[in-house]
Structure 1
């Protein structure tokens, strides 16, 4: 049986924490920042943990069992 390949896009966007949770970055923080408030940009800068509803899907993309 062939190896299962990790999704390259997911590999770049998600990372594991020490406890096994999956970290993600917030969207809307890469461009068109002039119209966003300082508070909004500051809050988008923090790392978030993925929601439990998406956990299985992301783990399959990362080839984690």
Structure 2
């Protein structure tokens, strides 16, 4: 039986935590920072844990974690 392939775009953008949750970068930070409030820019630093329904979709593309 051949190995399953991991989706290349997913392995670049997401990581799994030790408990199996999906960690990703914050959305809405690529451009247009002038129109964002300072509070929004501050709260979007770093990474976030994805919601469970979205994480389920991402895990389908990562067969080996």
Which interval holds the TM-score relative to the shorter structure?
Answer: 0.7 to 0.9
Structure 2 unpaired stretches of 5+: none
Q: TM-score, normalised by structure 2?
A: 0.81
Q: How do 1:1-65 residues align onto structure 2 when only pairs under 5 Å count?
A: 1-64=1-64
Count the aligned residue pairs.
65
- CA RMSD of superposed structures (Å): 1.6
Q: Following the alignment from structure 2 to structure 1, what is the Cα–Cα distance between the partners of residues 53 and 64?
A: 16
If each structure's helix is expressed as a fraction of its own residues, which one has the higher value?
Answer: 2
Q: Which runs of 4+ in 1 moved over 2 A?
A: none
Whose strand fraction is larger, Structure 1's or Structure 2's? 2
Report the Cα distance in structure 1 between the residues aligned to 2:8 and 2:18, rounded to whole angstroms: 21
TM-score (norm. length: structure 1): 0.81
Give structure 1 stretches of 5+ with no counterpart.
none
